[in-house]
Chain A
Amino acid sequence: MSQPMHHQPRIVNRGDRLFRAILIFFGLAVLAVALLIFVELWGVARPSVERFGLRFLVETRWDPVQEQFGALPFIYGTLVSSFIAILLAVPLGLGVAFFLSELAPRWLRQPVSFLVELLAAIPSVVYGLWGLFVLVPIVRRFELAVLQAGLDVLPIFSGAPYGIGMLSAGVVLAIMIVPTVAAVSRDVFRAVPNSQREAALALGATRWEAMKVVFDYGRPGIVGAVVLAWGRALGETMAVNMVIGNQPVISPSLFSPAHTMASVIASEFNEAVGAMHVAALAEIGLVLFGLTFVLSAVARILVLRVEHRARGRQSAAEGVGA
């Protein structure tokens, strides 16, 4: 009836319409997959959710024979092991990211990036194998040295030096998440406009002082990188399962064997002794799903914020220039 709008091309071609429908269909398929994961998980976990309710999260007893299920030891193990990993991986990852974005000569960037990304490409089970036969003996020697030095008066260093346990798991996790911290932070630093660096250097700042400016500008993105890496550490299964000792105990000692949420699902699901055991393990999976869902959502929002801000500045500057 009215004039066709000029700036909005109408879809007249039948092929275009069909093509668009196909693309939308596959876009929706991604949503369907996510929904399916949740629904199926919920289906398997329901008996446990209904029976234990929120008590599940704070109960410490895990007794498949008596059908008493509390997930606290696993939640504790997951949180502590991933915390150790973050503690080790964040400074290292930031160092690598600074090196790649601010210091490295151009010819060195590609190879170093490639090697760090390779670290992310090694399968988890291979990390587990290496951890079990190479890292654990090293950790055991370290623990022995700590005990001989008389540091076992501290509760975090108490207990027998098995090698297998929380500390080994934390170290393996750290190695596995460093690439995430490094890659995402590097991208965040690269998104920081050059004017920030140049302004700092022009004021007489040293390279390091200029990097602190870059860091400040990218801070939400860095937090995002850490959250993202944390999410990876929470869900990591095989490598942890192979070095953590798989015992549902809550001990303040870093040397003690422990268990994580992902790891207990891997060890017990196939040998589950009853329907309620299966459901309880699936409920742990559900908790893990919820946790990582929230974390990656938060991380994405934080990383996006830096990129938007940088892009906004850039286009504003271009506008002034024109």
Chain B
Amino acid sequence: MVSESVATTHLRARRLGLSARRVEDQIRRRRMVDRFMRGLMLASVVIVLIPLFSLLVYVGQSGLRGLSLSFFTNLPKPVGMAGGGMANAIVGSMILVGLAALAGVPVGVLAGMFLARSTSRLADTVRFVAQVLNGIPSIVVGLAVYGLLVLPMQTYSAWAGGMALAIIMIPLVTLNTEEMVRMVPRDLNEAALALGIPAWLATLRVVVRAALPGILTGIMLALARVAGETAPLLFTALNNAFWHQGLSNPIASLPVTIYTYAVSPYPEWHQQAWTGALVLVGMVLVTNVLARVLGRSRYDRR
């Protein structure tokens, strides 16, 4: 499909007895197609960004209307009563994300280091499985944790919700950690080894330390991602209209509360859902920007 050069176009035209005029027409047509396609590409960027801006504007506007201090300090109130908040859901989300980090970060980081440090067939398998895990729908993870923890414990619980989020975090952190560790130049490792320190110390104190900003960025992005997950919490953490009552009981979370309020028939609750969405999107945005500002790896040449 490589197009021919202007010179060959002319040559072939002469052979076929075409006029120079036809040839120039053809070239003009090709230029027009070129300009048109480039215009389409620019247009697709604009089209893709329209929903983003619309969403941010609506969440901002509608969310601000219900934003007040009481939203962060009060429990939800029944329909018709003013001054309800999502304090329990915000705290619940923090607890769930904290639990997820507790399990997800160490497993993810160490598995990522394994992938970066090993060339065995086992490493290839683990990488492949991590990539596939990354594509498993989060609701399916919720179902699995339901079978793993909710059925045996006979109750929905913060433990189960945290577990589900941890499982979603693990492949994200693993794959990012591998990439970041691999970006560190080999010379660094070799220089450390040449100084006579054992390989494991060279890995930890030189290579991983050099990759640390990138690894932390990945962890922050993974935390932001699971903080917004709703589906895996529906039948693991469930929901709770009150402050959390220990980790072995159902617990509220911001995304599930937003969902419940959004699909309810009450306008006041819709308002609460928008405000909840503003808080959630704000958190996700801040984390994303921070992660990018703080943590670009020095060795990332993209």
Stretch at the interface among B14-22, B75-83, B241-249, B269-277: B269-277
Q: Which residues of A contact B145 (CB under 8 A)?
A: 40
- CB-defined contacts of A107 to chain B, threshold 8 Å: none
Identify which of residues 1-47 in chain A touch chain B, using a CB-to-CB cut-off of 8 Å: 11, 13, 15-16, 18-20, 22-31, 33-34, 36-38, 40-41, 43-44
- A100 — nearest CB in chain B belongs to which residue? B45
Cross-chain contact B45 with A95 (CB below 8 angstroms)? yes
On chain A, the residues within 8 Å of B148 by CB distance are: 36, 40
> How many Å lie between the Cα of A114 and that of B38 in the bound state?
21
Residues on B with C-beta less than 8 A from A270 are 234-235, 238
Within 8 A of A (CB), among B67-86: none
Chain B, 229-286, CB within 8 A of any chain A CB: 229-231, 234-235, 238, 255, 258-259, 262-263, 270, 273-274, 277, 280-281, 284-285
B136 partner, pick from A19, A127, A206, A289, beta carbons under 8 A: A289
The answer on a CB contact under 8 Å between A293 and B42 is no
Q: Is B59 an interface residue (CB 8 A)?
A: yes
B141: chain A residues within 8 A (beta carbon): 37
Q: Which residue of B lies closest to A120 (CB)?
A: B225
Is A129 within 8 A of B224, CB to CB? Answer: no
Min distance, Cβ B229 to any Cβ of chain A, angstroms: 7
Which of B43, B49, B144, B221 lies in contact with A41, CB distance below 8 A? B144
Provide the bound-state CA to CA distance between A93 and B174, in Å. 26
Interchain CB contact under 8 A, A292 and B292: no
From B227, B259, B285, contact of A238 by CB (8 A) = B259
Instruction: Please state if A126 and B281 are interface contacts (CB–CB under 8 Å).
Output: yes
Residue count of chain B within 8 Å CB distance of chain A: 102
B203, closest chain A residue (CB): A19
Shortest Cβ gap from A8 to chain B (Å) = 12
Interface presence of B138 (CB below 8 A): yes
Residues of A within 8 A of B174 (CB): 30
Q: Write out the residue numbers on chain A whose beta carbons fall within 8 Å of the beta carbon of B255.
A: 123, 125, 238
Q: Which of A23, A114, A117 contacts B110 (CB 8 A)?
A: A23
Q: Which residues of A contact B270 (CB under 8 A)?
A: 133
Q: Are A130 and B117 touching (Cβ within 8 A)?
A: no
**Could you tell me which residues of chain B, from 132 to 188, have a CB within 8 Å of some CB in chain A?**
132-141, 143-148, 151, 167, 170-171, 174
Q: Is there contact, CB below 8 Å, between A123 and B137? A: no
Q: With A34-B133, A44-B147, A126-B258 in contact, do A15 and B42 touch (Cβ < 8 Å)?
A: no
- Please give, as numbers and ranges, the residues of chain B lying within 8 Å of A175 by CB-CB distance: 48, 51
Per-residue contact bits, chain B 21-40, to A (CB 8 Å; 1 contact, 0 not): 00000000011011001101
Choose among B33, B106, B143, B204 the residue that contacts A206 (Cβ–Cβ < 8 A): B33
Q: Which of A143-151, A155-163, A209-217 contacts its partner?
A: A209-217
At the interface with chain A, which of B94-102, B121-129, B210-218? B121-129
Whether the pair A129, B139 counts as a contact (CB closer than 8 A) is no
Chain A residues 87 to 136 lying within 8 A of chain B, measured CB to CB, are 91-96, 98-99, 103, 112, 114-119, 121-130, 132-134
Q: Considering the complex, which residues of chain A in the window 53-92 have a beta carbon less than 8 Å from any beta carbon of chain B?
A: 91-92
Q: Please name all residues of chain A whose beta carbon is closer than 8 Å to the beta carbon of B47 when the two chains form the complex.
A: 92
B residues less than 8 Å from A142 (CB atoms): none
Contact call B229/A123, Cβ cutoff below 8 A: yes
Contact B199 A13 (CB under 8 A): yes
Contacts of A25 in B (CB 8 A): 110
- For A288, the chain B residues whose CB sits under 8 A away are 137, 139-140
A26 CB to closest chain B CB (Å) equals 4
Residue of B55, B204, B277, B285 most packed against chain A (CB within 10 A): B55
Residues of the B chain whose Cβ atoms lie less than 8 Å from the Cβ of A190? 302
Known contacts: A31-B125, A125-B258. The answer to whether A296 contacts B131 by CB under 8 A is: yes
Known contacts A26-B107, A282-B147, then 16 further A-B pairs from the complex at CB < 8 Å, ordered by chain A residue: A13-B199, A22-B110, A25-B110, A28-B122, A29-B107, A31-B125, A95-B41, A96-B41, A99-B42, A99-B45, A103-B42, A118-B288, A123-B228, A133-B270, A266-B234, A269-B234
**Interchain Cβ contacts under 8 Å between A and B, 22 examples:** A13-B198, A19-B204, A23-B111, A27-B122, A30-B133, A37-B136, A37-B141, A95-B41, A115-B49, A121-B285, A121-B288, A123-B228, A123-B230, A124-B228, A125-B255, A126-B280, A199-B2, A206-B33, A206-B34, A237-B139, A237-B231, A262-B139
Where the two chains meet, the residues of B that have a C-beta atom closer than 8 Å to any C-beta of A are: 1-9, 30-31, 33-34, 37-38, 40-45, 47-49, 51-52, 54-55, 58-59, 62, 106-107, 110-111, 113-115, 117-118, 122-123, 125-126, 128-141, 143-148, 151, 167, 170-171, 174, 198-201, 203-204, 221, 224-225, 227-231, 234-235, 238, 255, 258-259, 262-263, 270, 273-274, 277, 280-281, 284-285, 288, 292, 302
Q: Which residues of A does B touch, CB under 8 Å? A: 11, 13, 15-16, 18-20, 22-31, 33-34, 36-38, 40-41, 43-44, 91-96, 98-99, 103, 112, 114-119, 121-130, 132-134, 175, 178, 182, 190, 199-200, 203-209, 211-213, 216, 228, 231-232, 234-238, 242, 262, 265-266, 269-270, 281-282, 285, 288-289, 292-293, 295-297, 299-300
